Structure 1
Amino acid sequence: MSGHSKWNNIKRKKEATDAAKGKIFTKIGREIMVCVKESGPDPNSNSKLRDLIAKAKANNVPNDNIDRVIKKAAGGDDKNSYESMVYEGYGPNGVAVIVECLTDNKNRTAGDVRHYFDKFGGNLGTSGCVSFMFSQKGVVILENTGLDEDTVMEDCMDCGGDDFSFDEDTVEITCAPSDLHALREGLTAKGYKVLSAEVEQIPSTYTTLTDEDQIKKMNLLLENLEDHDDVQNVYHNWEMPEE
Structure 2
Amino acid sequence: MAEIALINFDKCEIVDPTETGHGFKMTEAIANWMSADILWMFAVPADNQPVPPASTNPSAEFRRVVSPRVAIGHWAGDRVLIVDEYCGSAADNLPADVLAKFPDADPQDDVLEYVQTNWKHVGLADYTPAEKIDLKDVLFPGDRVWVVRNLTKRWYARSDVLVKPKHARGPTITGGLGLGDLIWAEIGGGMSTGSSHCDRFDVQTLESIGDGKGWTDKSKQAKSTLREFDMNDDVSQYRGVDYDEIEDEDY
TM-score (normalised: structure 1): 0.26
Between 1 and 2, higher relative CO (CA 8 Å, sep ≥ 6) is seen in 1
Higher alpha-carbon Rg: 1
**Whose helix proportion is higher, 1 or 2?**
1
**Whose strand proportion is higher, 1 or 2?**
1
